[in-house]
A and B are shown apart, each in its own frame.
Chain A
Amino acid sequence: MSSAVATQETVAPAVEEQDKPPKEPRGFNTFEFALMAPTLALLALLSLVPFFTLIAMSFSDVRTLGRIRLEFTGLENWVDVFTNPAFWASWGRSLIYFTSIIVLEMVLGFAFAVVLNNLIRGRSLLLSVVLLPMFLAPVMVGLLARFLLDSTIGLYAKMLAGVGFDTDVFANPSTAMPAVILIDVWEWTPLVALIMLAGLTSVPPSTLEAAAVDGAGFFRSLFNIVIPQMKAVILVALLVRSMDAIRYFDVITATTNGGPADATKIIPIRLYEMAFRFNNQIGQAAVVGLTMLVFSIALANVFLRFFGDREVARAHVAGGDH
């Protein structure tokens, strides 16, 4: 008896094992990976090679005349950069700039998207008009701003003077940074609005109708139904804009060149100076570049933590396993 039971117990798992589909090979040990390998190799070439080179440069004195030569200098570049108050001042300005544009662009972009989403007539036309600024090259936007705000010939400068604000905005450290922030917001809020609009249109109307039937008002629906369902879209907008904002360069170069009094010298401008203008500071520029990379990765992780839908992601992974 006991042996029969034992036999049954040992047979049953064996049958279950036979019913299960064979375990699929995963990871690098697959045909799919082999198909992707050439592209991955190319990507590795384009990203890993510069990355490792950058790390090597950050520990070296880099000479470029004639041919590139790296002489190992240990932590010298890192110490020089991290003990330079101007480097931290640039990071401070970068954070002010970064926070300002992300907050303004996300809020304004969402507001535009809500308005556009609720329009019944003329939505396409208005959307086209709203999107226009983002089709301009940033350097063109910078030059336009410089000319429009030029105190000698600028239309906007005359208009501002007409309402009593006759300070040259790029001449004053307290107005130069807000000016370049607003220029960026003007250009890139439309992109955020477009992404948000795509998210808004994907919210099922039936859910909103059900909420309305249950007595939810506009703002309650917005904050309790729409925004939670748009977390993935908000994440995309945040990642796109923040990665771009960290390397903001063109507009400042075309308008203030980092001035006045370094008021707009954010970290990419300092990096450019060290790498391409100053003599033999490429090693230090590599250190600055690596700090930007670390900041980008950390920021992306923070955004993923707050806006990434981990449950959905886990469900996707689990579904994939079956």
Chain B
Amino acid sequence: MTSLSNPFTRRRFLTGAAGTAALLALPGCGEQTQTPTGSQGGGGDPWKQFSGTSINMISENTPPTAAIAANPGPFEQLTGIKLNIQQMELDKVVEKVKLDFSSGTAQNHVIYADPYQILAPLADGLADLKPLIENKDYPPVEKGIEDFIPTQMDALGKYLDADKIYALPYDAPTMILHYRKDLFEKYADKMQSDLGFDPMPSEAMTWDQYYSIAEWFNKNAKSDVKYGTGHQAKQHDSLQADFSNVLWAYGGDYFEKGQELGGISSEDPGAVTVGSDPGVQAATFYKKLIKIAHPSSTTWDWTGLADAFLAGQIAMCPNWHEFAAGEEKQFPGKIGYALLPKGPARRAHNFGGTGIGINGNAKDAELGAAWLFVNWATSPETQLMTLGSKVGGGTPTRNSVYELPEVQAEIDKSPSKYPNIRTAPTVLKAWEKENIGLRPKVPQWVQLNTIIFTELSKMLTQDGDPAATMASMQDQMQKAMQ
């Protein structure tokens, strides 16, 4: 064996490795601010000025994105921009967006900006769209920003600063009551005589009546349906979504500033209030309701619940209204949609809409191209296209789309060429300020959400005490906010 004249020593080797580690651990350099760029040519057509650019969009696998991904041709022909769309579960979107923002790059230019998981905690990573909206070099926003449904614009596009717009409303899933109209009509008279009230879902229905109807189906309609109600009560975001409807209806909320935090929000959300008396009453009722619901409710998220409804296992359920498209295929004309029952304080419909925004690291042509896409994807024409898409059908976030004669004509049709529009009369009411249910837009929301659904899951599956559950939830939420 030959020894070297300049050998390695253990000390030198380790020193070198540690030095390299320290060097690489040094914070990287990154830029955050981007300046909107002007036109790049395109023969005067503002839609063509970034022709030849490629942009990437990252989105949850939701109906409007599925519709655009299935038919990107109109955008690519209009602009000459190549559009790449990645669709995945929301958790993965959040993870990838965080990594993208952390790296200081714009791997994804257009971002599906969930208001609670992306907009609130990562607003600084998103570009302010206002300068782009006002820039005369770009095509104007058709019918103006005012055309977006106002509660949605605040909930999805703004955060802390009313003068900044981080995203434009893109989809608007909202929890409403889905029910088997055929079964309700079949049993209406008998239910009415047994229960003493009109069981047909309407604005008069209360949560207590909902419970009675579900219990009645359990006992009297086994030949048609296994259970009266089902819920998305898996230890998942869905459990919080389902419970929140009841919490708000009973007059509870997560923070002192309540629904205000779902709009532009506030840096000081006030004290955590979920453990208050209305919160305990809501938890007590919710536990009672889940006890008579389909026993698999505690394993279902919203998709599992929708599958069970489609399989004819339950007579009614609160679920996101965009599942209507699938339901219309399975039971054409047999499904009814209604506002959720009211509680002692109000009725509330959890709003799960999302906007699309632009990565703050995007620059020059990519920034311009991304804006053209955001503008196009939220335009009335595109929303009409996605509404009628065969791969799911989105939900318009603009008032003008609901007013179109061809849309109005489809509202009562079944089958309809715009199946989701059958829910329009219900969701338009659900989006009114007094009926909408908005979660608090605070940066810690994901952690708070996990605390909420974990504590609720313990209460439901381990026969927990509602008061103790809400007290524990309150305590943990307070700690998370410190």
How far apart sit A256 and B24, CA to CA, in the bound complex (Å)? 38
Is B313 in contact with chain A by the CB < 8 A criterion?
Answer: yes
CB of A56 within 8 A of CB of B443, answer: no
Are A66 and B104 in touch, CB under 8 angstroms? yes
Known: A64-B101, A66-B125, A260-B457. Contact between A277 and B20, CB under 8 A?
Answer: no
- Name the one of B16, B27, B462 contacting A173, with C-beta atoms under 8 angstroms: B462
The answer to the question of A25 belonging to the interface, with a C-beta cut-off of 8 Å to chain B, is yes
> Is B194 positioned at the interface, with any CB of A under 8 Å from its CB?
no
Contact B295 A151 (CB under 8 A): yes
Interface residues of A in 62-96 (CB under 8 A from B): 64-70
Inter-chain contact B3/A25, CB cutoff 8 Å: yes
Cα distance, A152 to B300, chains bound together (Å): 10
**Complex interface: chain A residues within 8 A of B234 (CB):** 257, 259-260
Q: Interface size class for chain A?
A: 35 or more
Q: Are A29 and B3 neighbours in the complex by a CB distance under 8 Å?
A: yes
A28 touches B7 (CB 8 A): yes
Contact with B along A165-185 (1 / 0, CB 8 A): 001101111000000000000
Contact partner of B457 (CB less than 8 A), chosen from A64, A68, A259, A279, is: A259
- Mark contacts of B440-482 with chain A using CB atoms, 8 A cut-off: 1 yes-contact digit, 0 otherwise: 0001101100100010011011100000000000000000000
A-B contact count (CB 8 A): 164
A168/B296 in contact, CB under 8 A: yes
| Docked-complex contact A261 and B18, CB < 8 angstroms | no
- Chain A residues whose C-beta falls within 8 Å of the C-beta of B122 in the assembled complex: 65
Compute how far the CA of A273 lies from the CA of B448 in the bound complex, rounded to whole angstroms.
12
Selected contact of A29 from candidates B7, B32, B125, CB within 8 Å: B7
Cβ contact within 8 Å between B308 and A277: no
CB-CB under 8 A from A41, the residues of chain B are 16-17
Q: Given that A52-B21, A279-B446 are known contacts, is A33 also in contact with B8, CB under 8 Å in the complex? A: yes
Chain B residues with CB under 8 A of A280: 443
The answer to whether B1 and A68 touch across the interface, beta carbons within 8 angstroms, is no
Select one of A49, A56, A151 contacting B20, CB under 8 A: A49
Indicate if A34 sits at the interface (CB-CB under 8 A).
yes
Of the candidates B17, B124, B311, B462, the one whose C-beta lies within 8 Å of that of A65 is B124
Given the complex, which residues of B lie within 8 Å of A240, measured CB to CB?
none
From residue B209, how far is it (CB to closest CB) to chain A in Å? 26
Q: Which residues of A contact B450 (CB under 8 A)?
A: 273, 277-278
Could you tell me if B454 and A261 are in contact, using CB atoms closer than 8 angstroms?
A: yes
B223 part of interface (Cβ distance < 8 Å): no
Report the stretch among B45-53, B90-98, B323-331 that lies at the interface: B90-98
Instruction: Give the docked Cα–Cα distance between A173 and B461 (Å).
Output: 7
User: Which residues of chain B (28-58) have a CB below 8 Å from chain A?
Assistant: 28-30, 32
- Shortest CB-to-CB span from B440 to chain A, Å, is 13
**CB closest chain-B residue, reference A29:** B7
- Complex contacts, B22 vs chain A, CB 8 Å: 52
Q: A52-B25, A66-B32, A168-B295 are in contact. Are A261 and B8 (CB under 8 A)?
A: no
Tell me whether A262 and B457 are in contact in the complex, defined as CB-CB below 8 angstroms, given that A31-B2, A171-B298, A277-B94 are known contacts. Answer: yes
Whether the Cβ atoms of A25 and B298 lie closer than 8 Å is no
Q: Are B30 and A67 in contact (CB under 8 A)?
A: yes
Could you tell me the distance between the alpha carbons of A34 and B7 in the complex, rounded to whole angstroms?
8
Chain A residues in 8 Å Cβ range of B94: 276-277
The complex places the Cα of A263 from the Cα of B17 at a distance, in Å, of: 42
Whole-angstrom distance between the alpha carbons of A15 and B66 in the complex?
87
Say yes or no: A260 contacts B298, CB within 8 Å: yes
**Cβ of B84 < 8 Å from any Cβ of A?**
no
How far is A221 from B269 in the complex, measured between Cα atoms in Å?
72
**CA of A116 to CA of B8, assembled, Å:** 50
Q: Which of A151, A256, A258 has the most CB of B within 10 A?
A: A151
Contact with A along B116-129 (1 / 0, CB 8 A): 00000110110000
Complex formed: what's the CA distance from A29 to B6 in Å?
Answer: 9
Q: Is the CB of A153 within 8 A of B91?
A: no
Closest residue of chain A to B447 (Cβ to Cβ) is A278
Q: Are B462 and A28 in contact (CB under 8 A)?
A: no
- Mark out the residues of chain A between 267 and 322 whose CB falls within 8 Å of any chain B CB in the assembled complex: 273, 276-281
CB nearest neighbor in A for B101: A65
| Chain B residues within 8 Å of A260, by CB | 234-235, 298-299, 457, 460-461
Q: Report if B10 contacts A (CB, 8 A).
A: yes
A66 in contact with B30 (CB, 8 Å): yes
Q: With the chains together, A56 CA to B20 CA distance in Å?
A: 14
Measured in the bound complex, the distance between the Cα atoms of B24 and A279 in whole Å is 24
Given known A68-B28, A152-B311, A281-B447, contact A28–B21 (CB-CB < 8 A): no
When distances are taken between beta carbons in the complex, the residues of chain A under 8 Å from B296 are 150-152, 168, 171
Q: Looking at the assembled complex, report how far the CB atom of B25 sits from the nearest CB atom of chain A, in whole angstroms.
A: 5
The 10 A-B residue pairs with the shortest CB-CB distance in the complex, in nearest-first order: A259-B235, A67-B30, A64-B102, A151-B296, A261-B458, A260-B461, A29-B7, A25-B3, A44-B17, A52-B21
The residues of A with any CB-CB pair to B shorter than 8 Å are: 24-25, 27-34, 37, 40-41, 44-45, 48-49, 51-53, 56, 64-70, 150-153, 167-168, 170-173, 256-263, 273, 276-281
B residues contacting A by CB (< 8 A) are: 1-4, 7-10, 13, 16-18, 20-22, 24-25, 27-30, 32, 91, 94-95, 98, 101-102, 104, 121-122, 124-125, 234-236, 294-299, 304, 307-308, 311, 313, 443-444, 446-447, 450, 454, 457-458, 460-462
A64-B102, A151-B296 given. 6 additional CB < 8 A pairs? A52-B22, A168-B295, A259-B454, A260-B299, A261-B235, A261-B454
